[in-house]
Structure 1
Amino acid sequence: MTTSAAALPAIAPAAKAESFATRYGALCALLLLAAAVRLPLAFWPNIVHVDELYQYLEPAWRLLGHQGVVTWEWRDGIRSWFLPTLFGGPVALGDWLAPGGWGAFVVPRLVVGLASLSIVVTAWHFGERISRSHAIVAAFAAAVWFELVYYAPHTLSEPLATAVILPAAYLLTGELARNRLFTAGALLALACVWRFQYVPACAVFALAACWRDPRNTIALVAGGCVVLVLSGALDLAHGSAPFAWLVRNIQQNLLHDRASEFGDAPAAAYVLQASILWSGTTLLMLLALWRGWRHAPLLIVAAVVNVAFHSMIVHKEYRFIFLSIALLIIAAGLGSADWVQMMRRQNPWRSLAVVCGGWLLLSLGLSGATLIMRDNWMRGIGVAQLMAELEADPEFCGLALYAINYPFVPGRGQLAARRPIYSLYRDDPLAKGRLPAVVKTHQAGFNRIIGPASLASELPADFSPRSCAMISDDKLACVFARRGACDAPASPFGVNDVLVRLNY
């Protein structure tokens, strides 16, 4: 017996609104929570790694016609212009809203922080396949977990690539339709252009979908080709052959082993660092992942594949496996939601509050429990203080960096100061062994110096110290100032000239 559509009772608008509020009210609340945690951190001027300045914000700044720092990666052409081009809009908007560098630094971070909310939305939808409590717990864990929060506002390829891989993973692990496959293919291709080292992890989801039905490959590849064509067109627009940057990157880092110059680590480094950051909760996390395997095994497989691939690369940084962290947290959130169902016979709301409260307490405790995280929160803060003073200094007309190799200074200086910047490094062949004489010879080009407080005696007598700040664990740096204007003749000690000589 069938029922005609006309015989079905009409759904009142109020009932529709109530149904939407019932289904998505908790998700909206969790998104507000995640935004409230993440977006204010865009104004906290810590820096995870110099790449967020020199590989993304500085190139975007140069696209707008400004002077900027050009590192060896851009001189050798091993970087794609895709992300800097996207950052050009936020950088320009920020500079228009708050000229002088602060806006150009903050607005892109706000955009990246908003993009990170896709992790929370994806966690919710993974959980909703199981139950409402799984959706709430998984999304709550993704909203508050300290590592996901810490990296959220930083202009790096890893968080941005993760923000598009997770929705693709959701689309490829559910009911497959042509439009879902096309969208997922485009998202995976976008992530691989932004962070090509995530290709093995992306392949896990793509291969799983194609294994279910080889015909899925057509729509999946079609979506990816659209993004790849766009990326190639951007390369051409910037005067380079499509994907030439990728070939050069592989040549430099794999064939010439350039990345190892910046440090190497043993194969187990990522596992060791994760166990340190998770501390005593590692066992609890493993138990949650054991439960989560039943609900989302592909998330865990992709996370392990990503860690295994990056472990084979000699140069290691924890941010490289950010995708794995997000995948594991979602899987653990799904697993921990099983505990809610185990306890819900007594009081379902209380059991839900206990599990979510546990995620919150663990996150808050671990966010400052280790020396690594405490250092992470403060990295770059001293430099930001010194540059803020220069930005507000009406007499400032030129800056010299004296015997400071701390890498955040030139980038923050270019974005904030917009004045000539000179680099006086001890390792520079033109200055080696005679740095005090060099600063005296070229002091007409600058009236402010940032240098170690311990080397104040090496500076010209007319430079006196002003404010000081810790720019590393053991180094106090100060702004030294002299009166008078600047005469900026051609100098071999400009930032980019020095970088070329040092091959940095």
Structure 2
Amino acid sequence: MAAGAGHRNHGIDPWLAGCLLLGFALRLAILNLTVYHHADEIWQYIEPAYGMVTGDWIRTWDIRSGIRSWLIPILLAGPVWLGHAISPDSLMHVRLAQGLVALLSLGTIWAGWSLGARISRRHALVSAFVAAIWVEFAYFAPRTSSDSLALSLLLPAAALLVRFRDTRRVPVGLLAGLLCGLGFVVRFPLGPAIGIGMVWAAGLNIKACWRTGWLPLGAGFAGGIACDVLANAVMGEWPLAWIWRNLFANVVADRSHAFGVEPAYWYAVVLGWQWNVLALAALPALWLGARRYPVLLVMALAVIATHSLIAHKEYRFILLGAGLMITLAAIGSVDLMDRMSRRWTLRRVSVTYLLAAWVAASAFVALRHPFAINWTVGKAPLATIDSSAHTPGMCGIATFRVRDIPFLSRALINRDVPLLMLAGPQAAKNAMANASRFNVLIAPTWWTAEVPAPYRLQGCIQPAQPDFEQTYCVYARPGPCSGEAGAFDYNRVLERMDR
């Protein structure tokens, strides 16, 4: 039995409670400082949830193609409905949805504590604290994306798999399997890593471990799949059909290649680039942590290896792998500190110094390139949309040769007005012909000469940038609007462009 396995707590440990409160406070602060990490968070998840509540939303190609599950939008529909009901003219519905996923992310802090407590209380404190303050945990926690939710589901699942292998308690196995099933349907490319963890926890001898291992985990996993089946059935979709459509679109038809392709070694390069010298400094701690939990390192490597085989790569896709390695390094850092103390015949170093070192390391990653660019992602688009929506007398909005597609979002505009997209060399002509349908126009400054005369520049959202980088500028004309969006309705144009 591991050092901390026999310890029994009655109620929550105060140190764990402190880490949970610290982690949630940091996540709420980041939620209020940032908008989104990737546009998918809005257009693929919050936007459909907003559509379920209001009946009006922007539909992108992947939604129209049915390659995404309805499970996440249905999860977000509750906070979106509540926010819209409380404050229908604000973005409270967006913030409440982000707040919900931030709350769910606290499971990663519990997971760190659980894995550490199996060794000692010191390990538990350091591991939970790191999960609370490490920038990648905290920054991605409020993101309404499959990647963030997968981390929030599967890191606790990993801790439960370890506990289940130790105890063979059926409720633990059911819950671990349920989280694994939900994690799979939230982000199915993580399937190999999930499978490794489940097989390890259940036992390789299926016949001998059937009742005590495979059955509880399998039943829980089936429950997670059933949640997805039910969610999609409510929306009129066949069970798991979205997975096959997704595979066809991105593997056979190569739709994801349009967003960029990278070589197989890209994730290794990016991890080194992101963590810089810390990547080398953390290796001894990672190794010692992996000696405690080799299966978690294998799962992390499986996440990275699986996604390395996929041509389109983004760092957020391997969040689970990064999270597992950070957790192992946090656990291993306690062992490393103790080994160094014994080697140099020092008194046991206070954990406080180790926690301070982790805070400094997190700040180092957070404030330097490349991670630092994340703090401003999405702010200019949101400010532009907000400025357009609050233009006095606004009765319709059009984008004019805006290169970001999609750009307009019903969830962000939160107004029942016509939305139009004017693109291509005929944009000026079409703007004049349809000027009665909208009185606010969004365009880059380099197309100012083509903006029809009735529209006057109200301001640009990036005043510190030179003119050639003024991507988001708002123009308006006096007077009311008449008629619907017509042929240039935003959804109709998206469909014609297959975007």
Q: Same fold (TM over 0.5)?
A: yes
Q: Which moves more between the two structures, 477-486 or 417-426?
A: 417-426
Amino acid at match of 1:486: C
Aligned pairs for 1:302-341 within 5 A: 302-341=299-338
Structure 1: how far apart are the matches of 2:120 and 2:170?
26
Match for residue 188 of structure 1? 180
Greater shift, 453-462 or 312-321, is seen at: 453-462
What are structure 2's unaligned runs of at least 5 residues? 1-8
CA distance in 1, matches of 2:360, 2:347: 21
- In the alignment, which residue of structure 2 is the partner of 1:493? 488
Residue 283 of structure 1, CA deviation: 0.3
C-alpha deviation, 1:443, in angstroms = 1.1
SS of residue in 2 equivalent to 1:410: coil
Which residue of structure 2 lines up, in the alignment, with residue 16 of structure 1? none
CA separation in 2, counterparts of 1:156 and 1:448? 31
Task: Give me the identity figure in percent.
Answer: 32
SS in 2 for 1:242: coil
195 and 231 in structure 1: CA distance in 2 versus 1, 3 angstrom threshold: same
SS state at 2:461 partner: strand
**Residue identity matched to 1:270:** Y
Could you tell me whether the CA contact under 8 Å between 1:100 and 1:391 is conserved in 2? no
Deviation digits for residues 235-256 of structure 1 (CA, Å, limit 9, x no counterpart): 2221121111111111111122
The answer on 1:34 being equivalent to 2:23 is: yes
Tell me the equivalent position of 1:269. 266
Superposed displacement of residue 231, structure 1:
2.1
Distance in 1 (CA, whole Å) between partners of 2:107 and 2:162 is 17
* TM-score, with length taken from structure 2: 0.91
Distance 1:179 1:503, change over 3 A: same
Asked if 1:421 is matched to 2:410, the reply is no
Offset at residue 33 of structure 1 (A)? 1.1
Of the three residues 490, 493, 503, the one matched with 2:498 is: 503
Q: What is the deviation of 1:83?
A: 0.9
Q: Determine the C-alpha separation between the residues in 2 that align with 1:25 and 1:172.
A: 24
**What is the CA deviation profile of residues 320-350 of structure 1, one whole-angstrom value per residue up to 9, with x for unaligned ones?**
00111111110000000113434387555x5
Cross-structure match for 1:484? 479
Give the counterpart letter for 2:191 in structure 1. Answer: V
Of 46, 55, 75, 1:86 maps to 75
1:301-324 C-alpha deviation (Å, 9 max, x unpaired): 101001000000011111000111
Find the counterpart in structure 1 of residue 4 from structure 2: none
Which residue of 1 is the match for residue 357 of structure 2? 358
1:367–1:373 contact (8 Å) kept in structure 2: yes
Task: Work out which of the residue numbers 61, 72, 77 in structure 1 matches 2:50.
Answer: 61
Q: Secondary structure at the match of 2:487?
A: coil
Matches within 5 A, 1:36-185: 36-174=25-163, 175=166, 176-185=168-177
AA at the equivalent of 1:402: F
Aligned equivalents of 1:401, 1:321: Cα separation in 2: 34
Q: Which runs of 4+ in 1 moved over 6 A?
A: none
Give deviations 1:31-51, integer Å, cap 9, x for gaps. Answer: 111111111222234221111
Could you tell me how far 1:101 is from its partner in structure 2? Answer: 4.7
Q: Is the 8 A contact 2:57 2:411 kept in 1?
A: no
Distance in 1 (CA, whole Å) between partners of 2:352 and 2:205 is: 41
SS in 2 for 1:375: helix
Give 5+ residue unaligned stretches, structure 1.
1-18, 427-432
Between the aligned partners of 1:451 and 1:490, the Cα distance in structure 2 is 18
The 1-side partners of 2:367 and 2:402 are apart by 28
Q: C-alpha deviations, 1:452-481, integer Å up to 9, x for none?
A: 122222112121111211399933421111
Q: Deviations over 1:104-160 (max 9, x none)?
A: 211110111111111111001100111111111111111111111111111001111
Aligned to 2:453: 461
In the superposition, relative to structure 1, how do residues 63 and 412 fare at CA in structure 2: closer, same or farther (>3 Å)? Answer: closer
Structure 1 residues 339 and 47: CA distance shift in structure 2, 3 A: same
- In the TM superposition, 1:1-40 aligns within 5 A as 24-40=13-29
**What secondary structure does 2:472 align onto?**
strand
Once the two structures are TM-superposed, the CA of residue 438 in structure 1 deviates from its matched residue by: 1.4
What's the CA shift for 1:75?
Answer: 1.0
User: How many residue pairs were aligned?
Assistant: 478
CA offsets, 1:257-294, max 9 Å, x none? 22112211111111111111101111012121111111
- Aligned residues of 1:73 and 1:79 also touching (Cα < 8 A): yes
Matched-pair contact (CA < 8 Å) for 1:446–1:488: no
Distance 2:133 2:304 in 1: 23
Secondary structure (helix, strand or coil) at the match of 1:467 reads: strand
Q: Distance in 2 between matches of 1:389 and 1:225?
A: 47
State how 1:181-330 maps to structure 2 within 5 Å.
181-211=173-203, 214=206, 215=210, 216-330=213-327
In 2: Cα distance, 1:327 partner to 1:418 partner: 44
Q: One-letter code of the match for 1:352? A: V
* Further displaced range: 250-259 or 94-103: 94-103
Checking the alignment, whether the CA contact within 8 Å between 1:277 and 1:366 is kept in structure 2 is: yes
Provide closer, same or farther for how the CA distance between residues 120 and 399 of structure 1 changes in structure 2, counting only shifts above 3 A: same
* 1:11 aligned residue: none
